[in-house]
Amino acid sequence: MKKVTFIHAADLHLDSGMAGLRHLPQPIFSKLRESTFESLSSIVDAAIAHSVDFVVLAGDLFDAEDRSIRAQIIFIKEMERLAEKGISVFAVHGNHDHMEGSWVHLPLPKNVHLFSNQVETVEFITESQTSVHLYGFSYHSRHVYERMIQHYKKRDGADFDIGILHGQLEGESEHGAYAPFTISELAVKNFDYWALGHIHKRNVIQNEPPIVYPGNTQGRHVKETGDKGCYLVQLSEKGAEMTFINTAPVVWSERELNCEEADSFQEIYSKCLDLIDEEKMTGQAKILILTLQNTDLPPKDAAAIREGELLDLLKEHEAEGEDGFIWIADLLVNERKKWNKEKLMSESAFFAEMFHAAVDLEGIGGSLELLYKHPEARRFLQKQSEDELDSISKEAENLLMQLLYQS
């Protein structure tokens, strides 16, 4: 039977600086700084363990266009481990590690094929004589406005055709700076697998034939939650089989704890410890954002939590960052609603106006506009998505309710 087995990963962002996390205890911050490399190492382990035919890396291998020498050397070493096992690598550069950046070029081992800045086709024949055509291109600079998808042309003669594309699936809020494409543009190519990169959230856009964003290989902040890793893919005459493999040494996660039954600080504290113990059973190191739901505590106990005493206690045991640590990065409290927002707004014009002002999405966007227009700041900032604005507005609403409750 004709078949090919490969690993599809993208957005490794090697040597990601983990911006904004320096406040974490040193051992935990160090683990995060090494995590992108560790994840790559686990991907290589998986490729070897499953004796894949090749590995596809769909862009953003490095976090920065001036990729560090250390990042390159670690990458090269990992690629050499694959070379020793006769495993090829097909990689493209994305918007983060585009080819125009200035860096010290270290030669890559021969098993790594890097696609040029034009769409090219590479033929690969497996040991069992299955032929594969791989199509891809690398970003020549940070932005690629061109619809590169139009240059992907299926070449006859292969058992399987795999498209590698670092780019943006077009949706509602697009600006088209990252080799934009639509699902139908991919579908008409009649390929057997689309190995996408660029979007950091894992997403199997379509199953048959697969169109897949594997997501990045290591979460770098609270918005990149959940397991991160790569897909092990097998294409055969029977179709595609995909298995997700978690390779992230540290996972970001959000959890809720229902505190309805808890009457004191102590009870909530022990509930939190139980939750940490439960999380520890998995052995997976985690950075958790914990939300206490429906708390209803005596004022002193509630104040102690609000002022951070509970969070400090929970952090105490984990600051060493030993294997499988559970670090509570933030503790949010949703007090049991004694006051209802809708009721307040309908009864009083003052409250109505206050809530409108605080949670007005357009207002938030408008206030940030100045910042985004600032010539220096705009280089570093990405526009907030509607989801993000939405969560800012929810936070504002919660804060308001809490302030009202305390007054």
Interface ranges with Mn ion (CB under 5 A): 11, 60
CB of 143 to Mn ion, least distance (A): 14
Q: How many CB atoms lie within 10 A of CB 20?
A: 10
Q: Which is nearer to Mn ion, 60 or 159 (CB)?
A: 60
- Which among 122, 121, 115 has a CA at the least distance from the CA of 139? 115
Task: Check if the beta carbon of residue 254 is closer than 8 Å to that of residue 48.
Answer: no
Length of the chain as a residue count: 407
Cα–Cα dist 244/383, whole Å = 30
CB of 60 to Mn ion, least distance (A): 4
Nearest residue by C-beta to Mn ion?
A: 60
Helix, strand counts (H, E) of the chain:
10, 15
CB of 213 to Mn ion, least distance (A): 10
Q: Which is nearer to Mn ion, 203 or 402 (CB)?
A: 203
Task: Check if the beta carbon of residue 71 is closer than 8 Å to that of residue 22.
Answer: no
Q: Which is nearer to Mn ion, 11 or 301 (CB)?
A: 11
Structure tokens given for 384: 């907030």
Cα–Cα dist 263/257, whole Å = 14
Q: Which is nearer to Mn ion, 60 or 78 (CB)?
A: 60
Q: Which is nearer to Mn ion, 100 or 263 (CB)?
A: 100
Q: Which is nearer to Mn ion, 60 or 161 (CB)?
A: 60
Q: Three-state SS for 274?
A: helix
Cα dihedral sign, 262-267-272-274:
negative
User: Given the DSSP bridges, would you call strands 112-114 and 88-92 parallel, antiparallel or unpaired?
Assistant: parallel
Cα dihedral sign, 399-400-405-407:
positive
Cα–Cα dist 233/194, whole Å = 11
CB of 12 to Mn ion, least distance (A): 9
CB of 156 to Mn ion, least distance (A): 33
Q: Which is nearer to Mn ion, 129 or 382 (CB)?
A: 382
CB of 245 to Mn ion, least distance (A): 19
CB of 94 to Mn ion, least distance (A): 6
